[in-house]
Structure 1
Amino acid sequence: METQRIDGHALGKLKWRCRRGMLENDLLIERFFQRHESALTQRHASALARLMDLSDNDLLDLLLRRKEPGDDINTPDVREVLGMLRPPIRGSHRPGASLPANH
C-alpha cells in the first residue's frame, strides 16, 4: 500500500493540506506538484504531511538547505520528498543534461 499511487481525491486533500502562509513555500510546493503529482505514492504523501507539520520558517529553512531535518523527522521517506521539493543547486550538473564540449 505504501508504494500505491494516491488517487485524485487524496491528491486534492494533500494539495489543500500543503497550502502555506508563506509565498516562498507555496511556490516551491506548487512546483513540486507540477513535477511529481502523477507519481506520488502513499509513502510520499505521508512524508509530505510530516513536513507540513513544521512551521513556515522551519519548512523554508529545510527547502533552502539552511538546515537538515531534525531527528524527529529525519527518515528516508522525508529526505526523499525533501529532495523532490528543494530547488536545484545552481551550477550543479543534473543527470541527463548534456555536458559542455571541451574546446
Structure 2
Amino acid sequence: MVDATELNRLFWHSRRGMLELDVLLVPFVREVYATLGEEDRARYRKLLECEDQDMFGWFMQRGEPEDADLRHIVRMILDRVQPK
C-alpha cells in the first residue's frame, strides 16, 4: 500500500519542469503508481533519479535505457499513452 506522503513526494519529484516529461510522469504517478507492484514502484523511483535529458530521449523514442529496469518502466509509461 502506498501512503499519501509517498504519493505527494513522488508527485513533486515527477514534476520536472519540462512539459514533455510532466505530461507523462505526473498523470502516471497520480493514476497508476499506487496500483503497481513493489518492483515496478522501485523502477519508477529509479527512473526519477535519471537526468531529464536522458528521460526526454527515451520518451521521445530516440533511444532506450541500457538498464533493463528503466527500459521496463519507460515502456510501461509509453504504452499507457500510445494508441494501440
User: Aligned match of 2:73 in 52, 65, 81?
Assistant: 81
1:10 is the counterpart of 2:2: no
Quick check: which has more Rg, 1 or 2?
1
Would you say how many aligned residue pairs link Structure 1 and Structure 2?
Answer: 82
Q: Which of the two has greater helix per residue? A: 2
**Structure 2 length-normalised TM:** 0.75
Unmatched runs of 5 consecutive residues or more in structure 2: none
Unmatched runs of 5 consecutive residues or more in structure 1: 95-103
| CA contact 1:32–1:84 (8 Å) conserved in 2 | no
| CA contact 2:14–2:26 (8 Å) conserved in 1 | no
Identical aligned residues as a percent: 28
| CA contact 1:17–1:49 (8 Å) conserved in 2 | no
- Note the alpha carbon deviations across 1:41-81, whole angstroms, 9 max, x for none: 332232112212222111011112110102xxx12x43332
**Structure 1 length-normalised TM:** 0.64
SS in 2 for 1:66: coil
Cα RMSD (Å):
2.0
Please give the residue correspondences for 1:36-55 in structure 2 after superposition, counting only pairs within 5 Å. 36-55=32-51
Structure 1 ranges of 4+ moved more than 4 A: none
Partner of 2:23: 27
